[in-house]
Amino acid sequence: MNILFVADPLESFKIYKDTTFVMMREAQKRGHRISACETQDISWQTGGKVSAHVRHITLTGEPVSWFVADDRRPDQLEVLSGFDAVLMRKDPPFDSEFFYSTHLLEQAEREGAKVFNKPRALRDHPEKLALLEFSQFSGPTLVTRNAADIRRFHAEHRDIILKPLDGMGGMGIFRVTDEGMNLGGIIETLNKGGAQSVMVQKFLPAIAQGDKRVLVIGGKPVPYSLARIPQGGEVRGNLAAGGKGVAQPLSARDAEIGNTLGPVLAARGLLLAGIDVIGDSVTEINVTSPTCFQEIYDQTGFDVAAMFIDALEAALTA
């Protein structure tokens, strides 16, 4: 099987924790051929098919020079529909270029390519707003551009979290407690004078026990979550913001959330999703390039990458 990974530059991978890397490693272990490209390498021209400048790679098992590439000529394109599977693993932000790339990938689907996660599903499930559909699992949440609405939400809940809709890795997240310190300045920073929408959520004290990443693969939850626990007075548990990752078995509530949302997301073409849960409440649903495979494997021995490639192979033969 030939698999194309659409990802960030290979040279930027931190392979000791990178989920895309362990997907590649598991695929190669099974005898599948691995190729990679970036979104900027994808193009379409009248009379042709969606194509990309790709690198055919082999993993070496070395920690530094971890791959060797059979680099093609700069002008040589390969048709995406010629691969058995295309895995869209470009990290956020979900900006205009990411959006445009999903349209190119959707055209590749029309030409016969099998793309995971499905491009339309990526567009239809922005990671902050996807939880609106599943509000029975969320805590008090407001999405608005209106500063007065945010102030009313704060007056009601007294301790709140504000974040941009296009943030990642904990970037741009603010906590405002009862006294409302700097609320006005934070609103101005995030909503840009009413031009940009903001998500506001009631602060959940259970963040002290971690922001749990519940992975769902092929509609089924991985039996372990990764609780990302804030460190050093931080309110953010994101690993990119210095959080400590602690793998733990799913709670009954985590399993309920995963088993409820999983089949719905899978039916829409989301082979892999990462549901973020604080306490008993869903805070986000990540679909672009969910991570935490390696941390869970290192601490529990459960091979998440194997479960993922199993699901991919099953999807291709269904």
228 in active site: yes
Name all contacts of 146-149 with Cβ < 8 Å and 24+ positions apart. Answer: 146/194, 147/184, 147/187, 147/188, 147/191, 147/194
> Would you call 182 a catalytic residue per the annotation?
no
286 as an active site residue: the answer is: yes
Catalytic residue among 78, 211, 286, 295: 286
Residue 236 appears among annotated catalytic residues:
yes
CA distance 196 to 289: 24
Provide the CB-side half-sphere exposure for 286 (13 A, CA): 22
Annotated active-site residue in 213, 238, 254, 295: 213
Active site residue 163: yes
Neighbour count for residue 199 (Cβ, 10 Å): 21
User: Can you say whether residue 254 is alpha, beta or left, with left for phi > 0 and alpha for psi between -120 and 50 degrees?
Assistant: alpha
| Given the residues 26, 202, 228, 254, the one annotated as active site | 228
Look up 152 and say whether it is catalytic. Answer: no
Q: Which residue among 38, 211, 284, 295 is the active-site one?
A: 284
Q: CA-to-CA distance for 202 and 140, rounded, in angstroms?
A: 6
The catalytic position among 163, 211, 238, 295 is: 163
Annotation says 128 is catalytic: yes
What residues are paired with 141 via a beta bridge? 201
**Residues near 163 by Cβ (< 8 Å), separated by ≥ 6?**
128, 172, 173, 174, 190, 198, 199, 201
Given 78, 109, 254, 276, the catalytic residue: 276
In whole angstroms, give the CA distance from residue 25 to residue 18. Answer: 11
Q: Name the active-site residue from 55, 89, 118, 236.
A: 236
Whether 213 is a known active-site residue: answer: yes
Q: At what angle do helices 304-317 and 19-29 cross, to 10 degrees?
A: 60
Question: Which position among 55, 89, 118, 128 bears the catalytic label?
Answer: 128
> Which residues are catalytic, by number?
128, 163, 213, 228, 236, 276, 284, 286
